[in-house]
């Protein structure tokens, strides 16, 4: 998985904190995907990092990825 898979990658003025958080979660997801976990194990592992990941198949056959993740407000205040 890469940053380009998320619509945020098309944003011209990226918030560097948000970008770092997103890249961290992408790295975590890639680690879990490389471990050949079952679907249940994958989602349970993500929940340990306060994240949920899913997708939606659009009418034109594309997949819309959805990543819900929580981060501390203190990170944004820095």
Q: Tokens 């939606």, residue?
A: 56
* Whether the predicted pLDDT of 24 surpasses 70: yes
What stretches of 1-78 adopt beta strand conformation (E)? 51-57, 63-69
Alpha carbons 20 and 52: distance in angstroms, whole number: 18
pLDDT value for 31: 94
Of 74, 21, 7, 73, nearest in space to 51 by CA: 21
Of 35, 36, 65, nearest in space to 51 by CA: 65
* pLDDT tens readout for residues 28-78: 999 999 998 999 999 999 999 889 988 889 999 988 888 888 877 665 565
């Amino acid at each position: 998985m890469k940053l380009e898979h998320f619509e945020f990658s098309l944003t011209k003025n990226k918030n560097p904190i948000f970008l770092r958080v997103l890249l961290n979660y992408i790295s975590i997801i890639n680690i879990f995907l490389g471990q050949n976990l079952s679907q249940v194990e994958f989602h349970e592992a993500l929940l340990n990092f306060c994240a949920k990941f899913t997708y939606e198949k659009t009418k034109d056959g594309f997949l819309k990825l959805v990543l819900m993740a929580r981060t501390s407000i203190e990170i944004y205040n820095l």
